[in-house]
């Protein structure tokens, strides 16, 4: 091969190389927007608004932000953000443009294209290599949560780009109905007016009322469960104690009296502490709820003991004598004669004890049993608002008010019922032509006569018994 041939080959390849470069250059100049974006969106996020600061809750207003950088040679003139199904308020939009760490004096006029779309029109085109931060406050995502897609588009001095969906949708955690209602409430004018009053806001904040109700309700169920388990358990224990206290055997009597006096003579709060902190130290691990039921049952049994004792002792001695003189043993006398009469008399007082027991479940909050007060306390600690306690009070009243009403009704009906029956009998008697020595003339007078049953005294005896 000669030198001329070699040169010719080199020339050919050089030309080919040049053509290649020219081609690639031409391509790059013809379609500038396709090769690299003028606007590089780095993130579209929303600020976490849950209590633990980790989640984005639906329904609860939060801040949404779009971060981007103007990458290319071009200047950005406007950016449009659209979030389907989420209302965006132009009043709540904020624009920040940075060049490195320097803030540029560029602001944007925000236009609402429709309910879900905001367009940021910059007063000065955003120069390349600057960073953009667009924020929209008070954005409430749908309450049922899910992945919320965000779309954006922008315009440069040289053209516009169509809407594209950002690769990472915003993950929104669904919220409960109550929280949705609360958010709705908070957006209402009357609620805001209401909350402007310090007292109303602090004690009866509507939104907190709504959000705490279902939580406190859970605690209320716990309290009810404790009562439903503890009270029926306390009844037989209390009855047994009452029998023991009336026993003729000295030791049995002293045992029961000591127990009753200690329980009634010490605060329940202390009893709860002793049980809850003492048993674990003894190495006994009992479930909190179960232990709570036990403490309540044993406490209540002491009070029930005194109620039963008073009830039994309010039955006249003659009833015991009549039953025994018929050959009934003491158990039969108790079961068939005394208890049926005593039950009637002690039911109102027992209901009072039930109300007391129910209210006392709140003391279990001190050892961490999740009942109404404990839940209310948790919310109050987080919100600094007293409303949850008011809600808890409401839940207590739901039970206590009707119960005390029932008690009063029962007390009244004990008298009313017998009076009604008596009146009915009197009517029957007038149509009764049977031969009866003391029927017609004296019946009315004697009909209501009760030998030595002094009802008022008996009732008083029962009422004072548990003082």
Nearer to another protein, 264 or 443 (CB): 443
End-to-end CA distance of the chain: give it in Å, rounded: 129
64 and 46 in contact (C-beta within 8 Å)? yes
Nearer to another protein, 186 or 414 (CB): 414
In sequence order, what DSSP letters do the residues of 334-379 get, joined into one string?
A: IIIIIHHHHHHHHHHHHHHHHHHHHHHGGGGGGGT--SHHHHHHHH
How far is CA 173 from its chain centroid?
Answer: 18
**In the complex, least distance from residue 314 CB atom to another protein, rounded to whole angstroms:** 13
Binding of another protein at residue 435 (CB under 8 A)? yes
**In the complex, least distance from residue 411 CB atom to another protein, rounded to whole angstroms:** 17
Of 97, 242, 337, 391, the one binding another protein (CB under 8 A) is: 337
Of 29, 190, 199, 449, the one binding another protein (CB under 8 A) is: 449
Binding of another protein at residue 329 (CB under 8 A)? yes
Binding of another protein at residue 422 (CB under 8 A)? yes
**In the complex, least distance from residue 246 CB atom to another protein, rounded to whole angstroms:** 18
Binding of another protein at residue 316 (CB under 8 A)? yes
User: Among 403, 340, 74, 248, which Cα is nearest to 256's?
Assistant: 248
**In the complex, least distance from residue 237 CB atom to another protein, rounded to whole angstroms:** 25
The three-class DSSP label of residue 167 is coil
- The length of the chain is 467
Candidates 21-29, 57-65, 126-134, 433-441 — which segment interacts with another protein by CB under 8 A? Answer: 433-441
Candidates 88-96, 233-241, 332-340, 393-401 — which segment interacts with another protein by CB under 8 A? Answer: 332-340
State both tokens at 338. Answer: 């005394």
**In the complex, least distance from residue 427 CB atom to another protein, rounded to whole angstroms:** 12
227 and 212 in contact (C-beta within 8 Å)? no
Give the number of other CB atoms < 10 A from CB of residue 353: 20
126 and 43 in contact (C-beta within 8 Å)? no
Binding of another protein at residue 437 (CB under 8 A)? yes
Q: 């909190």: which residue's tokens?
A: 288
**In the complex, least distance from residue 416 CB atom to another protein, rounded to whole angstroms:** 13
Nearer to another protein, 265 or 327 (CB): 327
Nearer to another protein, 113 or 322 (CB): 322
Q: 């002793």: which residue's tokens?
A: 274
Binding of another protein at residue 346 (CB under 8 A)? no
Tell me the backbone φ, ψ of residue 78, rounded to 5 degrees. -160, 155
Binding of another protein at residue 325 (CB under 8 A)? yes
Nearer to another protein, 242 or 323 (CB): 323
Binding of another protein at residue 332 (CB under 8 A)? yes
152 and 163 in contact (C-beta within 8 Å)? yes
Nearer to another protein, 114 or 437 (CB): 437
Binding of another protein at residue 328 (CB under 8 A)? yes
Nearer to another protein, 452 or 464 (CB): 452
Binding of another protein at residue 455 (CB under 8 A)? no
**In the complex, least distance from residue 324 CB atom to another protein, rounded to whole angstroms:** 7
State both tokens at 259. Answer: 């127990």
User: How many angstroms separate the CA atoms of 387 and 380, rounded?
Assistant: 8
Task: Write the CB contacts of 15 (distance below 8 Å, at least 6 apart in sequence).
Answer: none
Binding of another protein at residue 457 (CB under 8 A)? no
**In the complex, least distance from residue 250 CB atom to another protein, rounded to whole angstroms:** 18
Of 28, 448, 454, 457, the one binding another protein (CB under 8 A) is: 448
Torsion of CA 72, 73, 78, 84, to 10 degrees: -20
User: How many angstroms separate the CA atoms of 334 and 345, rounded?
Assistant: 15
Binding of another protein at residue 326 (CB under 8 A)? yes
**In the complex, least distance from residue 414 CB atom to another protein, rounded to whole angstroms:** 11
User: How many angstroms separate the CA atoms of 305 and 303, rounded?
Assistant: 5
136 and 81 in contact (C-beta within 8 Å)? yes
Which residues are at the interface with another protein (CB under 8 A)? 316, 318-319, 321-329, 332, 336-337, 340-341, 344, 418, 421-422, 425, 432, 434-439, 442-443, 446-453
């Amino acid at each position: 091969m000669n030198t001329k041939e070699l040169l010719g080959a080199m020339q050919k390849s050089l030309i080919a190389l040049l053509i290649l470069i020219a081609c690639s250059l031409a391509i790059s100049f013809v379609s500038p927007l396709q090769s690299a974006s003028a606007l590089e969106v780095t993130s579209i996020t929303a600020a976490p608004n849950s209590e633990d600061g980790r989640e984005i809750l639906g329904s609860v207003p939060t801040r949404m932000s779009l971060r981007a950088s103007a990458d290319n040679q071009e200047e950005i003139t406007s950016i449009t953000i659209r979030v389907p199904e989420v209302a965006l308020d132009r009043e709540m939009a904020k624009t920040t443009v940075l060049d490195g760490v320097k803030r540029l004096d560029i602001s944007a006029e925000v236009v609402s294209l429709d309910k879900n779309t905001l367009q940021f029109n910059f007063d000065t085109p955003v120069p390349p290599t600057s960073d953009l931060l667009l924020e929209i406050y008070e954005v409430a995502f749908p309450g049922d949560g899910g992945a919320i897609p965000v779309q954006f588009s922008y315009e440069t001095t040289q053209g516009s780009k169509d809407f594209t969906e950002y690769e990472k949708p915003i993950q929104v955690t669904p919220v409960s109905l109550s929280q949705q209602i609360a958010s709705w409430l908070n957006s209402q004018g009357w609620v805001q007016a209401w909350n402007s009053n310090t007292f109303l806001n602090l004690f009866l904040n509507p939104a907190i009322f709504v959000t705490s109700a279902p939580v406190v309700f859970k605690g209320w169920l716990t309290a009810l469960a404790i009562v439903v388990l503890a009270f029926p358990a306390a009844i037989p224990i209390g009855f047994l104690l009452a029998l023991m206290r009336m026993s003729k055997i000295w030791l049995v009597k002293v045992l029961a009296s000591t127990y009753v006096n200690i329980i009634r003579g010490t605060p329940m709060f202390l009893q709860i502490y002793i049980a809850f902190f003492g048993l674990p130290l003894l190495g006994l691990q009992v479930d909190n709820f179960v232990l709570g039921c036990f403490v309540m049952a044993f406490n209540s049994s002491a009070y029930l003991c005194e109620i039963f004792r008073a009830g039994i002792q309010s039955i006249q001695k003659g009833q015991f004598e009549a039953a025994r003189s018929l050959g009934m043993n003491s158990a039969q006398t108790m079961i068939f004669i005394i208890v049926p009469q005593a039950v009637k008399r002690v039911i109102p007082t027992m209901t009072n004890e039930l109300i007391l027991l129910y209210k006392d479940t709140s003391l279990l909050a001190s050892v961490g049993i999740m009942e109404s007060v404990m839940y209310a306390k948790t919310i109050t600690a987080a919100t600094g608002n007293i409303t949850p306690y008011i809600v808890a009070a409401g839940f207590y009243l739901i039970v206590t008010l009707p119960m005390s009403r029932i008690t009063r009704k029962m007390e009244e009906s004990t008298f009313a019922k017998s009076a009604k029956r008596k009146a009915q009998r009197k009517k029957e008697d007038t149509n009764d032509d049977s031969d009866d020595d003391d029927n017609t003339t004296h019946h009315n007078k004697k009909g209501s006569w009760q030998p030595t049953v002094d009802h008022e005294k008996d009732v008083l005896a029962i009422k004072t018994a548990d003082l």
